[in-house]
Amino acid sequence: MADPSVDADGIRCMIMRGGTSKGLYFLAADLPSDADSRDDLLLRVMGSPDVRQIDGLGGAHPLTSKVAVVSLSADPDADVDYLFLQVQVDRAIVSATQTCGNIIAGVGPFAIERGLVPVTPGTTRVRIRTRNPSGGQTVATVETPHGRVRYDGDTVISGVPFPGAAIPLESPAPAVSLLPTGAVVDEFDGVRVTCVDAGMPVVLVDATDLGLTGTEPPELLESDPVLRERVESLRLQAGRAMGLGEVADETVPKMTLVSRPTAGGSISTRSFIPHRVHTAIGVVAAVSVGAGALLVGSVAHPLLAPRVGPRLRIEHPTGHFDVDVELTSDLYEAGAGSLPAVRSSAVVRTARKLADGLVWPRPSR
Ligand code: NQM
């Protein structure tokens, strides 16, 4: 285990793009095991708190200020454990309350590169157990043609201008309740919302209920202080109703404005994550949005375009995200014994190793 007081030796880490996000990947054994020491170290590695993260490796945006901590799993059904940590950019907060399905796209390649999972000819399946509160298992299929991870390929995902090798990610039913408030619609500040959780707690709001079209660019939404305040007020109330407690300092729930699709997809989205607006959409968040939109009676359901099969095309500011979502039922019946649940979901991402080496954190004060 690295001792943060001996930072002079540097700490081993890999930088990877995972889907539409970017983060630092560490072996758990290379970080302090105590959570407070680990988080203090990660703030100093990333350069937080500072809007520019100028003295660290963070990219000055929530989507590029992320960390994966990976270790061998003791679970016989998993190869590796993955703990996701969101390092806030301008605040000295490291949060483990949410997972990240974009960063998970780099976990399979990282586990193979670090020798945690043996390579098999052609493709290597990596079974990942998420250690964040949402839990859950994900199976990543990584191309390993000559005994090594292949990153280059022809797959293009919206939000990344360059192609890469496809990494299919399949997840069985999440352990969390799809409707954490027990209702398909709740109302806060006179606005009807649907609170869903398929591994990422998300609050769906019809954009027109906030006087928007839902096609506004992220910069426009971020630059409207009245809108931001309205969205945050809904979020704080929804967080309590979803059993998440006081979420002012938390990155969940996410707030997703939904509207009718405009580019041939199933539904259009703009996501507050929760204060900056996502340039695309999170992976698990897209599963939550898709599941919520499938539920008859949700605020998103009337906006959903007709579809064939389990695939939903979620439109977002830089393109679309295809996600296959299967529910046990799309019917919510108030008072019925069981609520609808996600049976399975599947997405395709790409990832790329950008750098591997040692990082020197700023000194501890
Ligand atoms: O929902 C951003 C991202 C995410 C989360 C965020 C994510 C997911 O795009 O699985 O990927 O909502 O904080 O990296």
Residue closest via CA to ligand 1's atom 11 equals 282
Phi, psi for 338 (deg, rounded to 5): -120, 145
Place of tokens 């943060």: 4
Please give the distance, rounded to the nearest whole angstrom, from the Cα atom of residue 20 to the centre of ligand 1: 9
- Residues touching ligand 1 (Cβ under 6 Å) are 20-21, 62-63, 100-102, 200, 251, 254, 273, 282-285
User: If you write DSSP's letter for every residue of 192-210 in order, what string do you get?
Assistant: EEEEEESSSEEEEEEGGGG
Which pLDDT tens digits describe the chain residue by residue (365 residues)?
Answer: 444 444 678 999 999 999 999 999 999 999 999 999 999 999 999 999 999 999 999 999 999 999 999 999 999 999 999 999 999 999 999 999 999 999 999 999 999 999 999 999 999 999 999 999 989 999 999 999 999 999 999 999 999 999 999 999 999 887 889 999 999 999 999 999 999 999 999 999 999 999 999 999 999 999 999 999 999 999 999 999 999 999 999 999 999 999 999 999 999 999 999 999 999 999 999 999 999 999 999 999 999 998 878 899 999 999 999 999 999 888 776 666 678 889 999 999 999 999 999 999 999 87
- Residue 176 is predicted with a pLDDT of 85
Task: Residue 135: name the closest of 190, 181, 197 by CA.
Answer: 197
Residue closest via CA to ligand 1's atom 9 equals 282
Residues 170 and 179: their CA atoms lie apart, in Å, by 22
Please give the distance, rounded to the nearest whole angstrom, from the Cα atom of residue 142 to the centre of ligand 1: 20
- Beta strand 11-18 pairing with 21-27: antiparallel
Q: Which of 16, 88, 100, 176 to mutate to test the pocket of ligand 1 (most atoms within 8 A of CB)?
A: 100
Q: Which CATH topology does 11-166+350-359 take?
A: Diaminopimelate Epimerase; Chain A, domain 1 (3.10.310)
Residue closest via CA to ligand 1's atom 13 equals 273
The answer to whether the beta carbons of residues 202 and 289 sit under 8 Å apart is yes
Written as one letter, the residue type at 240 is R
Report angle CA 320, 175, 290 to the nearest 5 degrees: 20
Residue closest via CA to ligand 1's atom 1 equals 282
User: If you write DSSP's letter for every residue of 230-244 in order, what string do you get?
Assistant: HHHHHHHHHHHHTT-
**81 Cα distance to chain centroid:** 16
Residues 6+ apart with CB under 8 A from 95: 85, 86, 88, 249, 250, 251
Q: What pTM, to 2 d.p., does this model score?
A: 0.92
Residues 6+ apart with CB under 8 A from 333: none
* Angular region, 122: left φ>0, alpha ψ -120 to 50, beta rest: left
Residues 6+ apart with CB under 8 A from 225: none
Place of tokens 């054994």: 29
Strands (E), 37-102: 66-72, 80-87, 94-95
Could you identify the atom of ligand 1 that is nearest to the CA of residue 281? 9
Could you identify the atom of ligand 1 that is nearest to the CA of residue 254? 12
Please give the distance, rounded to the nearest whole angstrom, from the Cα atom of residue 9 to the centre of ligand 1: 32
The tokens of 176 are what?
Answer: 């969390």
Could you identify the atom of ligand 1 that is nearest to the CA of residue 101? 10
Please give the distance, rounded to the nearest whole angstrom, from the Cα atom of residue 86 to the centre of ligand 1: 10
Sign of CA dihedral 237, 239, 241, 244: negative
Please give the distance, rounded to the nearest whole angstrom, from the Cα atom of residue 278 to the centre of ligand 1: 8
User: If you write DSSP's letter for every residue of 240-258 in order, what string do you get?
Assistant: HHTT----TTS--SEEEEE
Task: Residue 344: name the closest of 194, 147, 198, 149 by CA.
Answer: 198
Residues 56 and 175: their CA atoms lie apart, in Å, by 35
Could you identify the atom of ligand 1 that is nearest to the CA of residue 20? 9
Residue closest via CA to ligand 1's atom 5 equals 282
**Within the chain, how many helices (H) and strands (E) appear?**
5, 17
The answer to whether the beta carbons of residues 345 and 287 sit under 8 Å apart is yes
Every domain of the chain and the residues it spans: 11-166+350-359, 186-346
Task: Residue 63: name the closest of 86, 97, 40 by CA.
Answer: 86
The answer to whether the beta carbons of residues 314 and 266 sit under 8 Å apart is yes
- Residue 337 is predicted with a pLDDT of 65
Q: What is the CA radius of gyration of the chain?
A: 20
Identical fold, 11-166+350-359 and 186-346: yes
- Residue 334 is predicted with a pLDDT of 64
Q: Where does 186-346 sit in CATH, by number?
A: 3.10.310.10
- Residue 335 is predicted with a pLDDT of 63
